[in-house]
């Protein structure tokens, strides 16, 4: 009787896990499609551009970090289109992470871009 009860319980837990995993995948896909900002061209050679895809807020700020986490660039109150000269900002070959922050300093979005030159 105990074995039967445990196997039924295990079955229910497995069904719940599969349902949870599928919902998690759906959330990730919907988040991937709902980007606030787009960085292009990626990979970049001389300039990196940022444009808002939706819900532009003039109080957003942006920061760019190198692969070691060192802040290489930051700007407050960014416009709906931002173009950064990579050479002037000393962003050389490598992987960089950009973070879009709201007025409270909370990360709204984070992604990466590559510089090849």
* The pLDDT value given to residue 59: 87
Tell me how far the alpha carbon of residue 116 is from its chain's centroid: 21
Read off the pLDDT of residues 15-35 as tens digits, 9 standing for 90 and up: 454 444 444 444 444 444 568
Answering whether pTM is above 0.85, one says: no
How is the chain split into domains, by residue range?
Answer: 1-34, 35-115
* The pLDDT value given to residue 70: 95
- Buried/exposed code over 82-94 (b: 16+ C-beta within 10 A; e: otherwise): eebebeeeebeee
- The answer to whether domain 35-115 has CATH 2.40.10.220 is no
CA angle, 63 then 65 then 66, to 5°: 155
- Residue segments in the chain with a per-residue pLDDT below the cut of 50: 9-11, 13-15, 17-32
* The pLDDT value given to residue 24: 45
């Amino acid at each position: 009787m105990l074995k039967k009860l445990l196997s039924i319980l295990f079955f229910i837990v497995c069904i719940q896990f599969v349902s949870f995993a599928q919902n998690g995948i759906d959330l990730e896909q919907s988040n991937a499609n709902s980007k606030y900002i787009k960085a292009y061209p990626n990979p970049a050679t001389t300039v990196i551009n940022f444009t808002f895809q939706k819900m532009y807020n003039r109080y957003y700020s942006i920061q760019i970090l190198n692969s070691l986490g060192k802040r290489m660039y930051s700007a407050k109150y960014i416009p709906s289109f931002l173009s950064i000269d990579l050479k002037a900002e000393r962003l050389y070959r490598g992987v960089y992470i950009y973070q879009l922050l709201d007025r409270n300093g909370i990360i709204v979005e984070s992604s990466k871009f590559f510089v090849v030159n």
